[in-house]
Chain A
Amino acid sequence: MRFILISACTLAVYAGPALAQDANQTQPAEQQIQSRGVDYARDDSDRERARTYARETQRMMRERQGAQENETQNAPLPIGETVIVDNDDGPDRGD
């Protein structure tokens, strides 16, 4: 019984500082990302925004199909160098 109690407490003691350290370490990196990232223009609604992007993709795919049937099917797509940073105030998403 005593062993179980000690184990639980020991894990809690180790986990606490470790998590705190991680949080501190990310702050300078956060600033670095902000300096090289680009905020996207926010729309009113997340779902409407998502659908708008998908419709743009639909349009681009159809244009490409129409332009040349097979030759450009798997041709590379241009892509920007900057990192898109979410400037939404909503929650971060992770594990």
Chain B
Amino acid sequence: MRLLGVCLAAIAALVLAPPADAGESNGQPVDRFTLVEMANFSKQIEAELAQRGAYVAMVFRTGRDRSELPEGIRYTHGAFWVYTPIPTQGGGTQYGYAVYNLYHELDPVTVSNLYQDWPLDFTRGDTVGQVGVIIPNAEMQQRIIDVIASPYFEALHQPDYSLLSNPADGRYQNCNEFMLDVVSSAIWQTASREQIKVNLDAYFSASRVNLNFFQRWVGPLIDQRLRLDDHYGEIRTATFASIADFMLAFDLAEEEQIFEIDAPFSLAEDTAYPPSAPAPAMAAE
């Protein structure tokens, strides 16, 4: 009997992919593609943001194949990309983007921290070769950078991590919810997470995540990051789509500034943003 339990646990651990790896760890990068491909893709994203004159953008990637994600969820990690002059060791200056992330730790996995890294670090966690982008309007970019540059940025961080945190509840936070909290702080000019949660409950429509019985009840036993006690009934979390809808609904971003970027080697089968975009050409095997 004990052997059966061990076997079931082993099988479950192997086959039960997290339903939406909304945040990511500070562990080893995924490296699905070659490093050169990832470096080129990171530059492609930077060039697109710079071409559009973006000082601040919200960029999303997926660290898991889309087939493993629940319906409607396209990305598992999001971070702010901030245009800045970067002093280099040779004494020069490199203009580019610094990336502001929330990652969960490896031990314990239920605790997160804020990390600033670079576009290449971001794309090394991408398994599809496609990113989602939201460029807030000029006023919102200014407000967001004001928050990032202030002590509010750290004050908005809730270290208790959950993969599927409820954005209307303050108990846990993942990377997307952290970005949403920063955007909310910029909108309502407050660093109070309590106030932000009240406002988000009223104005933000989170994405519904459909979990089957096994994922909902057995998942948390296997993956400590799946903490669901901040949900009441349906499981709802912040995603690229729900944040994009929120930004559009309250005129915080223009429709043409919400889009996806495909790498030349992209494995993505479709492009959801903008909705009228043609499907990308499949990468050669």
Binding site for B on A (CB under 8 A): 1, 4-5, 7-8, 11, 22, 25-26, 29-30, 32-33, 36-41, 46-47, 49-51, 53-58, 60-61, 65, 72-87, 90-95
**Given A79-B47, A91-B27, A94-B24, A57:B82 Cβ within 8 A:** yes
CB pair B34–A50 under 8 Å, yes or no, is: no
CB pair A61–B142 under 8 Å, yes or no, is: yes
Is B117's CB within 8 Å of the partner chain A?
Answer: yes
Please choose the segment from B96-104, B185-193, B222-230, B260-268 that sits at the chain A interface, where 4 or more of its residues have CB less than 8 A away.
B96-104
The secondary structure that dominates the B interface is mixed
28 contacts between A and B (CB under 8 A): A1-B7, A4-B4, A4-B7, A8-B10, A26-B35, A33-B39, A38-B94, A39-B88, A39-B89, A40-B86, A40-B87, A47-B114, A49-B116, A50-B116, A54-B148, A54-B149, A57-B145, A75-B53, A76-B50, A76-B51, A83-B39, A91-B26, A93-B24, A93-B25, A94-B25, A94-B121, A95-B29, A95-B77
| A-B CB contacts (within 8 Å), total count | 186
Is B284's CB within 8 Å of the partner chain A?
Answer: no
CB pair B24–A95 under 8 Å, yes or no, is: yes
On chain B, the residues within 8 Å of A54 by CB distance are 82, 84, 100, 145, 148-149, 153
Contact of B125 among A75, A84, A94 (CB under 8 A): A94
Binding site for A on B (CB under 8 A): 3-4, 7-8, 10-11, 14, 21, 24-31, 34-36, 39, 42-43, 46-47, 50-56, 63-64, 76-77, 82-90, 94-96, 98, 100-101, 103, 106, 114-121, 124-125, 127, 138, 141-142, 145-146, 148-149, 153-154
Q: Smallest CB-CB separation from B147: which chain A residue? A: A54
CB pair B83–A77 under 8 Å, yes or no, is: yes
CB pair B100–A85 under 8 Å, yes or no, is: no
CB pair A86–B118 under 8 Å, yes or no, is: yes
CB pair B43–A32 under 8 Å, yes or no, is: no
Q: Name the residue in A8, A75, A87 with the highest tally of chain B Cβ atoms < 10 Å from its Cβ.
A: A8
Q: Smallest CB-CB separation from A83: which chain B residue? A: B39
Q: Name the residue in B46, B98, B106 with the highest tally of chain A Cβ atoms < 10 Å from its Cβ.
A: B98
Contact of B127 among A61, A72, A76, A95 (CB under 8 A): A95
CB pair A57–B55 under 8 Å, yes or no, is: yes
CB pair B53–A76 under 8 Å, yes or no, is: yes
On chain A, the residues within 8 Å of B120 by CB distance are 33, 37, 83-86
CB pair A93–B103 under 8 Å, yes or no, is: yes
* B129: min CB distance to chain A, Å: 14
Contact of B4 among A1, A22, A25, A30 (CB under 8 A): A1
CB pair A60–B55 under 8 Å, yes or no, is: yes
CB pair B50–A79 under 8 Å, yes or no, is: yes
Contact of A61 among B34, B55, B125 (CB under 8 A): B55
CB pair A50–B35 under 8 Å, yes or no, is: no
